[in-house]
Amino acid sequence: MVATTVFFGACGGNPFAPKKHTPTGVVDRPAAQPTTSAEIAMDNLARAFNERDKELFETLLDQRYWFTEDDCLGNLVYNNDREEELEIMGTRDGSSGGILNTFRTVEWEFQLIERSTELGREHPMAYEGDPDGHPDEDWEVFRGRVEMLLLKTSDDGFRVNQIMTFKLRQGEDGLWRIVRWIDDPLVGDCGEIDTEEAAKAGLSLQLRAWSAIKQIL
């Protein structure tokens, strides 16, 4: 009997070892930047939605966060605070529902219409706890059109196409966060969807107000 010795060279490795599988389509993105400017905070908001990143989303909401949507007559349709917003978006571990857990596809695009600064001296506290009062600090304001696509399956979901306003304040840690999120009413009769206009714009009849979707889940 002839003994055979097999040497595994340092360069070649084990020729009989199974090949390593490298996943395709996986891109390691760098961590989100600290929100040292209001612009970075808005960029991170888009990233939080597009990547369904609940932890990143949570970092973007100020403790005074307040969401509102009025109809075209100025009547309040819906509002919620920070804790309610986080619950609406879904738990971090995915153990309960929520927008970022329910929809397998989430696409967000923000088209800036107007950028401004809201001066504190022009916004005194109208009453104790006034969410719009900030006499001692200036807020940065981004107003624009938000387009969202939310899909459970390829043909089951919603579109959002709505003017929204985001107001951001700088915390004591120097970071900017969203303190007010204000949705404009949809086109048509006092917030009702104008299906003819939606069709002209090429929008699905599953077009919904953002506040309506938040209340569905």
Q: Supply the DSSP symbol for 207.
A: B
Q: Is 63 helix (H, G, I), strand (E, B) or coil?
A: strand
Strand partners, 196: none
Which pLDDT value is given to residue 204?
45
β-pairing, 76-81 vs 105-118, is unpaired
Render each residue's pLDDT in the chain as its tens digit; 217 residues: 444 444 334 444 555 544 544 445 546 789 999 999 999 999 999 999 999 999 999 999 999 999 999 888 888 989 999 999 999 998 666 666 899 999 999 999 999 999 999 999 999 999 998 999 999 999 999 999 999 999 998 788 999 999 999 999 999 999 999 999 999 986 444 545 444 544 444 444 478 889 999 988 7
* CB-based contact 168:159 (threshold 8 Å): no
Compute the distance between CA of residue 8 and CA of residue 11 in angstroms, rounded to an integer: 8
Instruction: Please report the pLDDT score of residue 50 as a whole number.
Output: 97
Taken in order of first residue, the domains within the chain and their CATH numbers are 38-120+137-216 (3.10.450.50)
Q: What is the pTM of this model?
A: 0.80
**Which residue bears the tokens 């706890």?**
129
End-to-end CA distance of the chain: 74
